[in-house]
Structure 1
Amino acid sequence: MSLVIVVTISYALLPHSGWLIVLLWLASGTLAFHRPTESALARHLLNLRYPTPSERARLEPVWREVTARAGVEGRAYELWIEESDDLNALAAAGHIVGVTRFSLENLTSSHLGAVLAHELAHHVGGHAWSSLLGEWYALPGRLAWVGVRRLARLVIALGRRLNSCLGVALLLAAAGVVVAFALAYWFVILALVMAPYPLAAVARRAELRADQHAAALGFGPMLAEVLQTMHAEASGAGGAMTTSFAARGRTGAFGTVVRAHDGRRGLLAKLLASHPDYHTRLHHLSAYLSPGR
């Protein structure tokens, strides 16, 4: 849908060289792996900052242990801090790993390691950069959808303000345009309606894979403790360790964020959720919690 929109606008602006704009747009995704661009995105869009010397002294030894277990070069990634009182962490773009100040100050080293191992898994599995590219290339389609919705609201508002006959005529004309478009481009409508569900399913699968990757590195028990506490807090039972991977969820173009969900969601909300519920995550971790794993 985004490609159709970009091609249409490009050739409308430059009939003979619209292909150049299309190629530039397609190539723009490579900026996701450009370090200066990543830093600008982290600072200005994700509201992250570089760690202070004391924060770095706390964070880097844990990060070195995690990357050593994973067999990856820890210096290939940049550690950032979010100035937040929520307990959260994120993996963004190609090299960004961020934690909130609250996480750094309140998690034990073992639990902080479990959080960082989960985020590292998003990078190792390609979840962070693929999510970023998916969001970026979907942006024209999303903006077009927002524009259509706002135009529909404007037509409805005008129809209500005008006198009854003219208002009804305007609404019927707008409805006719919508029906004609839906019949002519039914595949576009179907894609807009159905696409979020498989994309959400892929995101949930990525979260389970990240959990399993962290558990395979030896962080399974710590990961399970945090998830169990999250479930206790969500159900109102509280817990000794007042933490969750994300007390506040965030969606956007630049990160894969571990997010808490309560068990009181409807079916559609569950199908559109980007993260599995606690029971599902704990179930998939159970194999890593048995003796000898």
Structure 2
Amino acid sequence: MTQQPPEYPEYPAPEYPAPAQPQAAGPQAPPQYPQQPPAYPAAPPTYPGATAPIAPQYPYAQAAPQIPTIPPTPQPSQPPQPTTAPAAPPPSEDPTHPHHINTDARRIHLSHQQRHTDATAVGNLLVYLPNFLCSLIVVGMVSALFGKLAILVILLWLASGALVFHRPTESALARRLLHLRYPTPQERAKIEPVWREVTARAGVEGRNYELWVEDSDSLNAVAAAGHIVGVTRFAMNELPNGELAAVMAHELGHHVGGHAWSGLLGYWYALPGRIAWRVLKAFSVFVFHVSRAFGCFGVAFFVMLIGGIALATVSTLYGLPLLILAMPYALAAVGRRAELRADEHAAALGFAPMLASVLEKLHQQERHEQAAATALNGGAPVEESALSKLLSSHPDYHTRLHHLQPYLQPQRPY
């Protein structure tokens, strides 16, 4: 009998998930993005501990965003320097200054009579007349040493006055006596437009004159000989062009009125007499020191000798030498009058307000000089004597400003 194996119960087989099949390598389709990128914050997010913000990278970005830089913290040893405002332009280059004028080139109407000899110039020549006569006597005495050529020497001296209007002589005079120089190209570019405006208003040919510069830090100008107009470096660089024009118009007034050439001509013809006076003065001082060696007798003899010579000279020349004693005061009075006439000339050209401002600056300059003299005098004020006022060649500030008042007042319409 065959033994049958035991029968076991049948259980259902467990179901397991099918293993994932590996995908074949191949091109993948690009991900789909929206047509408009979503809005992101303008500033990149910051993270703790980071020294600089990190910008996230986006696939649709056209350009990498600029990461702002953090300025370095200043060290205690190097404090941050404060920023300074730009310096204001000097008055000479400030077009907004109230005394700035337009110097653009324009048509010029030249006057028929560009020069004349006014009463001040004639008075200047008359005042120099005694000095001229004394110089003529001195030249005559010196020419006697040349024998028959004495007349020729005198005539040559009389004709030498024409050198005042000789351009090379004027240039030598400007360099040697007035310490002037020719302007540089930069300086010429600054003063020539101003001079052109001044001469255009006056109807004068400006090319007939020569512009010079004095290396000085004071406010001043000069008109000399027949064609010299000089200004200081301070006036050229520190004054507005309107005030510089007023100064140059003042000097042009000296030329137009004949003050410059008459003053120089009188000085030239008085020069031999001045030289003879200095020689006699030096000789008198020498004789006086020698006479002191002989005591009172020597001094008395010296006084009698000098007194006799002076009396003989005065009686021989009909008292002419006595007029020479008053010459410095007369020349100073004529010079003050010439300054007022030159001020009127500048004011008539429309520069009265500018000239008044220049006079105020000159007044302030004089006050600073007086303060410096007072400090050197130990604090005691230095008073100007009456004789020194009479010898002044320029009027005081208040007198000049008073004569400018008619040009400073507004004109009433008719």
3-state SS of 2:253 partner = helix
Alignment-derived partner of residue 215 in structure 1: 347
Alignment-derived partner of residue 6 in structure 1: 139
Alignment-derived partner of residue 108 in structure 1: 240
Say yes or no: does 1:278 pair with 2:393.
no
For 1:211 and 1:151, how far apart are their aligned partners in 2? 43
Instruction: Report how far residue 285 of structure 1 moved.
Output: 0.7
Consecutive unaligned residues in structure 2, runs of 5 or more: 1-133, 371-381
Instruction: Report how far residue 133 of structure 1 moved.
Output: 0.4
For 2:173 and 2:402, how far apart are their aligned partners in 1? 35
1:266 alignment partner, one of 382, 385, 394: 385
Say yes or no: does 1:201 pair with 2:333.
yes
* Residues 1:234 and 1:38: Cα distance change in structure 2 (over 3 Å): closer
For the Cα contact (< 8 Å) 2:216–2:232, is it kept in 1?
A: yes
Say yes or no: does 1:16 pair with 2:148.
yes
Larger Rg over CA atoms: 2
Cα root mean square deviation, aligned: 2.2
Instruction: Report how far residue 131 of structure 1 moved.
Output: 0.8
Alignment-derived partner of residue 118 in structure 2: none
Matched ranges for 1:145-224 at <5 A: 145-185=277-317, 187-224=319-356
Task: Give the count of matched residue pairs.
Answer: 268
For the Cα contact (< 8 Å) 2:195–2:248, is it kept in 1?
A: yes
Instruction: Report how far residue 201 of structure 1 moved.
Output: 1.5
2:194 alignment partner, one of 59, 62, 65: 62
Instruction: Report how far residue 287 of structure 1 moved.
Output: 0.6
For 1:289 and 1:124, how far apart are their aligned partners in 2? 23
2:218 alignment partner, one of 86, 89, 104: 86
Task: Name the TM-score, length of structure 2 as normaliser.
Answer: 0.61
3-state SS of 1:17 partner = helix
- Between Structure 1 and Structure 2, the one with more helix by share is 1
Matched ranges for 1:121-140 at <5 A: 121-140=253-272
For 2:352 and 2:265, how far apart are their aligned partners in 1? 30
Matched to 1:151, the amino acid is F
Task: Name the TM-score, length of structure 1 as normaliser.
Answer: 0.85
| Deviation readout 1:225-258 (Å, 9 max, x if unpaired) | 12123224434599xxxxxxxxxxxxxxxxxxxx
Consecutive unaligned residues in structure 1, runs of 5 or more: 239-262
* Residues 1:184 and 1:33: Cα distance change in structure 2 (over 3 Å): closer
Instruction: Report how far residue 78 of structure 1 moved.
Output: 0.6
For 1:153 and 1:290, how far apart are their aligned partners in 2? 56
For the Cα contact (< 8 Å) 2:220–2:235, is it kept in 1?
A: yes
For 1:131 and 1:225, how far apart are their aligned partners in 2? 27
Considering Cα pairs closer than 8 Å and 6+ residues apart, tell me whether 1 or 2 has the greater RCO.
1
Matched to 2:397, the amino acid is Y
Matched to 1:66, the amino acid is V
